[in-house]
Amino acid sequence: MSDRFHKRLWRNAVTMTTANVPSPTLRVVEGLRECPCCGLFQTLPRLQRGQVAYCRRCDAQLARRSNTPPIAAPAAFCLASLALYLALFFTELLTINVHGRVNTVTILTGPIELGREGFGEIGLIVGLTTLIMPGIAIALMGAILIGASRRQMPDWAPRLMSWYDRLREWSMIEVYILGVFVAYTKLVDLAIVDLRAGIFLIAALMITQAATDSTLDVERIWLNRDIRDEIEDNQGRILPVEHITATDESMPPIQHMLSCHACGLVMAFDQEVPREEDMGDCPRCHQILKRRKSNSLINASALLLAGVVCYIPANLFPIMTYTKMGQANTSTIIHGVIELWNSDLIPLALLVLFASITVPVLKIVSLAFMVFSTWRKQKRGLKLMTKLYRLVDLIGRWSMIDVFMISILVAIVHFNFLANVVADPGVVFFTIVVIVTIFAVHSFDPRSMWDAAGENGPVTIPDEAKQNSDPGGISNGDSSFSPHDMEPERA
């Protein structure tokens, strides 16, 4: 007999003996959304095509309804991505001709060559971000769309959606192509360089992947998914799932609510939800329910510290050695920028300066400031810091340009005495900085800044909000809605 059946019997027995105590339930709050950046719960009307809903407090995007068919459009782009991705394995990216000696580079050569030079871990990261992750992202998206196109979305589809969310940003095709261009500019004065078909395939893949993401309408896909009738909570109790709407009179207090980090469904428990405790599985997507990310401050601080420690050798040690006519030239990150500048490639110099120096520093400094202001329970500048958080989350991966550039140069410039490029230890430290700061940003929960400042305190529905008189929060350009926003009472 199943464990679940026993638990149900036990629950019924308890209900019979304590008839006056209401049995615990889980209530799904329809039409309510928690901002993932500031933690404000706000009502969300049904969006029309092309409309986007923004948080009224921190301007984060809460929901988006695409203009295109929800399955057909991303499926078409996903198929195109698959064709381009497969073709990439059979094409060359660049050929270089030094006095009649020709070398070619494919997407595989960089990681292999880095491995041969003793930088296997960097080769692995380059291979993961330019080869494996793009393939996984395309495969996951294909499977998600197959699952979503069924009349009833199967259980595995939401799991894949959550994996897609986590892994998508590690597919760095768009960063790689910039790395190729920086490498190209460094090669043109050395030899005759030919851009081959692979480069155009990568550029096209970058576009089709972006188009897949922008046409994917997650909101509409979730409408296809049934919500379970009961779930098991963190104490092993089976809770029946009820549905209420955000405008109901008997709305539970905010401390009883949480939203699923994967699908955004808002749920209310009968008791206060602890900050970081596992509350059971989401009745829609089966991901673990948690109010906030676990140990957000400690994890982010530790990773940040690791980033700061590695940042110093990343800048002091050379990242590569370029030997030309027997003359070795070691190059640090800042050297690379100065060289581009001196070669009159000013836009590219600025790009590398931004990606390799500004972005890591901005990430480290702003995240340190966010962690500090959470400790200090600071109330000022919360909106600005939340916007900064979204910015560093978005641009963090662009720092990989230099790493990709080196992977291409070491793969192609092998002409013994004439010209040779080898990677140096600086690139290892630099890659660690990029990776750990990306993880640091992920492990930090920006809502904790608002929590610490007391901005996510107990809530009531304001009377005027119930009468649709408080526009804002939702925007689609010209037409505006009147959402009933739930604003926290100031403590």
Closest to Zn ion by CB, 237 or 286: 286
Q: Which of 28, 32, 35, 160 binds Zn ion (CB under 5 A)?
A: 35
CB of 264 to Zn ion, least distance (A): 7
CB of 254 to Zn ion, least distance (A): 14
Report how far residue 231's alpha carbon sits from residue 392's, in angstroms, rounded to the nearest whole number.
36
CB of 450 to Zn ion, least distance (A): 8
CB of 409 to Zn ion, least distance (A): 43
CB of 445 to Zn ion, least distance (A): 13
Q: Which of 32, 47, 53, 58 binds Zn ion (CB under 5 A)?
A: 58
Closest to Zn ion by CB, 186 or 292: 292
Q: Is 114 in the site for Zn ion (CB under 5 A)?
A: no
Q: Is 38 in the site for Zn ion (CB under 5 A)?
A: yes
Q: Is 284 in the site for Zn ion (CB under 5 A)?
A: yes
Q: Is 60 in the site for Zn ion (CB under 5 A)?
A: yes
Binding to Zn ion, residues 246-275 (CB under 5 A): 260, 262-263, 265
CB of 192 to Zn ion, least distance (A): 53
Of the candidate spans 49-57, 71-79, 320-328, 375-383, the one that interacts with Zn ion by CB under 5 A turns out to be 49-57
Q: Is 337 in the site for Zn ion (CB under 5 A)?
A: no
Of the candidate spans 33-41, 311-319, 338-346, 435-443, the one that interacts with Zn ion by CB under 5 A turns out to be 33-41
Strand partners, 268: 27, 257
Q: Which of 27, 57, 237, 292 binds Zn ion (CB under 5 A)?
A: 57
Q: Is 388 in the site for Zn ion (CB under 5 A)?
A: no
Closest to Zn ion by CB, 55 or 433: 55
Q: Is 26 in the site for Zn ion (CB under 5 A)?
A: no
In the chain the first and final C-alpha atoms are separated, in Å, by 50
Q: Is 282 in the site for Zn ion (CB under 5 A)?
A: yes
Closest to Zn ion by CB, 38 or 474: 38
Contact positions toward Zn ion, by CB under 5 A?
A: 35, 37-38, 55, 57-58, 60, 260, 262-263, 265, 282, 284-285
